[in-house]
Structure 1
Amino acid sequence: MKAKYKFALVSIAISSALLSGCKTGDIATKTAQAPSVETVTLTETKITPYHTFIGRTEAVNDVDIMPRVGGELTAIHFKDGDMVEKGQLLFEIDDRPYKAALAYAKASLQKAKAQLVQTTRDAERVKKLIKDKSISEQQYDDAIAAHAAAIASVEEAKATLVSARLDLEFSSVRAPFSGRVGFSNFRVGDRISKIQLVPLVSITQIDPIRFGFDVDEKLYRRVRSAIDVAHRNDDKLDVDLTLTLSDGSLYPLDGKIYAVGNKIDLETGSIRAEAQFDNPTYALMPGEYGNLTIKLRNKTIDGLLIPSAAVQQDQAGDYVMVVGDDHVVSRRNVGLGQTYGVKRAVLTGLAANEKVIVNGLQKVRPGATVKDVELQSEQG
Structure 2
Amino acid sequence: MALAPRNRRRWPTWFGVFTGLVILAAGGWWYFQNGGNKQPPLNTIEVSRGDIQQLVSATGVLEPSNYVDVGAQVSGQLETIHVRVGQTVSQGDLLAEIDPTVYVAKVDATRAQLKNQRAQLDDRKAQLRLAEIQFQRQTNLFQEEATTRESLQTAEASLASAKAQLAMLEAQIEQTSSTLRAEEANLGYARIYAPMDGTVVSIEARQGQTLNATQQAPVLMRIADLATMRVRAQVSEADVGKLEPGMRVYFTTLGDAERKVYGELLYIEPTPEVTNNVVLYNALFDANNDDGKLLPNMTAQVFFIQSEALDVLRVPVSSVQRGRVQVLTQAGQVEWRDIVAGVSNRVHTEVVSGVKEGEKVVLVSRDPRSGSSNTSNFRGMLR
TM-score with structure 2 setting the length: 0.58
Q: Against the structure 1 CA distance between its residues 217 and 249, is the aligned structure 2 distance closer, same or farther, given a 3 Å change threshold?
A: closer
Q: How far apart, CA to CA, are the structure 2 residues paired with 1:51 and 1:154? A: 70
- Equivalent of 1:370 in 359, 362, 377: 377
AA aligned to 1:87 is G
Give the match for residue 114 of structure 1: 119
Give the match for residue 287 of structure 2: 277
SS of alignment partner, residue 200 of structure 1: strand
- Equivalent of 1:244 in 244, 252, 257: 252
Q: CA deviation at 1:170?
A: 1.4
Question: What's the RMSD between the two structures over aligned residues?
Answer: 5.1
The range that moved more, 355-364 or 66-75, is 355-364
How many residues in Structure 1 have an aligned counterpart in Structure 2?
305
- Identity across the alignment (%): 19
Q: CA deviation at 1:211?
A: 1.8
Q: How does 1:1-380 map to 2 (within 5 A)?
A: 33-39=38-44, 54=58, 55-120=60-125, 122-123=127-128, 126=131, 132=139, 133-135=152-154, 138-177=157-196, 178-188=198-208, 190-195=209-214, 199-213=219-233, 218-220=241-243, 223-224=244-245, 226-227=246-247, 242-247=250-255, 249-251=257-259, 255=263, 259-260=266-267, 264-265=270-271, 273-292=283-302, 305-307=314-316, 310=318, 337-338=344-345, 343-345=347-349, 353=354, 357-358=362-363, 366=372, 368=374, 369-371=376-378
SS of alignment partner, residue 73 of structure 2: coil
Q: Against the structure 1 CA distance between its residues 160 and 191, is the aligned structure 2 distance closer, same or farther, given a 3 Å change threshold?
A: same
- The gaps in structure 2 that reach 5 residues or longer are 1-36, 140-151
Q: CA deviation at 1:110?
A: 2.9
Are the counterparts in 2 of residues 37 and 359 from structure 1 also a CA contact under 8 Å? no
SS of alignment partner, residue 167 of structure 1: helix
Q: CA deviation at 1:366?
A: 0.8
Q: Against the structure 1 CA distance between its residues 219 and 365, is the aligned structure 2 distance closer, same or farther, given a 3 Å change threshold?
A: closer
The range that moved more, 104-113 or 248-257, is 248-257
Q: How far apart, CA to CA, are the structure 2 residues paired with 1:324 and 1:60? A: 52
AA aligned to 2:251 is L
AA aligned to 1:199 is V
AA aligned to 2:96 is F
SS of alignment partner, residue 64 of structure 2: strand
Are the counterparts in 1 of residues 319 and 364 from structure 2 also a CA contact under 8 Å? no
AA aligned to 1:185 is A
Q: CA deviation at 1:147?
A: 2.5
SS of alignment partner, residue 37 of structure 1: coil
- The gaps in structure 1 that reach 5 residues or longer are 1-31, 228-239, 313-318, 373-380
Q: Against the structure 1 CA distance between its residues 96 and 251, is the aligned structure 2 distance closer, same or farther, given a 3 Å change threshold?
A: farther
Q: CA deviation at 1:287?
A: 1.9
SS of alignment partner, residue 249 of structure 1: strand
Q: Against the structure 1 CA distance between its residues 93 and 130, is the aligned structure 2 distance closer, same or farther, given a 3 Å change threshold?
A: same
The range that moved more, 126-135 or 284-293, is 126-135
Are the counterparts in 2 of residues 126 and 143 from structure 1 also a CA contact under 8 Å? yes
Q: CA deviation at 1:155?
A: 1.9
SS of alignment partner, residue 363 of structure 2: strand
